[in-house]
């Protein structure tokens, strides 16, 4: 049943203050308006982005450094170096590679690390498939395995 607000003379048992009564009525009229809705609405507002923009424009040295990075054509190399650093920490392949900020060197290191990860995943998949075949309890698969063994035995005996 719905929660109903008791209107009438206030008694000690059912007495509600006016703000609580108004909030309860509002909650009954608009059930979609809840605390979660308010939190989600506040989450889409760009408070952090505005704060960072204000902070960057207040600090002149950071803006000068940003313009220096853009002008010196190092932005791509720095982005690729950070990507390579993430790959290096994510996997154990290529951890002994020490790269500089050179763009193509970082691309090569990323390629080596990604290929190593993909080959390792391929190996895991093949091992899983083999383990499933070895431990299968399906009678048809067991029969196929025995049939193959019998054929091999017959070929060996007939050729001898």
Q: Do 16 and 30 have their domain in common?
A: yes
Residues 25 and 78 occupy one common structural domain: no
Same domain, 51 and 41: no
Is residue 87 classed exposed, middle or buried when 0-12, 13-18 and 19+ CB atoms within 10 A define those classes? buried
Domain count across the chain: 2
pTM: 0.38
Same domain, 37 and 67: no
Residues of the chain with pLDDT under 70: 1-21, 26-27, 31-35, 60, 63, 69-71, 73-76, 91-96, 160
d(CA 14, CA 4): 11
> What is the predicted pLDDT for the residue at 8?
54
How far apart, in Å, are the Cα atoms of 149 and each of 51, 129, 136, 138, 143? 73, 20, 17, 17, 10
Whether residue 126 sits in one domain with residue 54? yes
Whose tokens are 């704060």? That residue is 51
Residues 132 and 60 in one domain: yes
In this structure, the answer to whether residues 34 and 57 fall within a common structural domain is no
- Tokens representing residue 57 in the block: 């424009």
Contact of 109 with 81, CB cutoff 8 Å: no
- The answer to whether 85 and 94 have CB atoms below 8 angstroms apart is no
Residue 29 is part of which domain span? 1-45
User: Based on the domain organization, do 121 and 78 belong to the same domain?
Assistant: yes
Q: Which residues have C-beta within 8 Å of that of residue 62, sequence separation ≥ 6?
A: 56
Give residue-wise pLDDT tens across range 39-53.
Answer: 777 778 888 778 777
């Amino acid at each position: 049943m719905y929660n109903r607000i008791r209107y009438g003379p206030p008694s000690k048992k059912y007495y509600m203050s006016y703000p609580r009564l108004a909030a309860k009525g509002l909650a009954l009229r608009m059930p979609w308006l809840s605390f979660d809705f308010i939190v989600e609405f506040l989450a889409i507002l760009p408070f952090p982005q505005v704060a960072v923009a204000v902070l960057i424009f207040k600090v002149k040295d950071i803006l000068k450094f940003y313009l220096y990075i853009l002008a010196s054509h190092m932005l791509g190399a720095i982005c690729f170096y950070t990507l390579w650093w993430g790959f290096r920490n994510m996997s154990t392949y290529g951890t002994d590679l020490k790269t500089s900020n050179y763009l193509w060197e970082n691309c090569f290191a990323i390629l080596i690390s990604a290929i190593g990860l993909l080959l390792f995943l391929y190996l895991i998949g093949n091992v899983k498939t083999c383990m499933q075949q070895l431990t299968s309890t399906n009678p048809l698969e067991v029969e196929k395995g025995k049939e193959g063994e019998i054929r091999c035995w017959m070929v060996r005996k007939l050729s001898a």
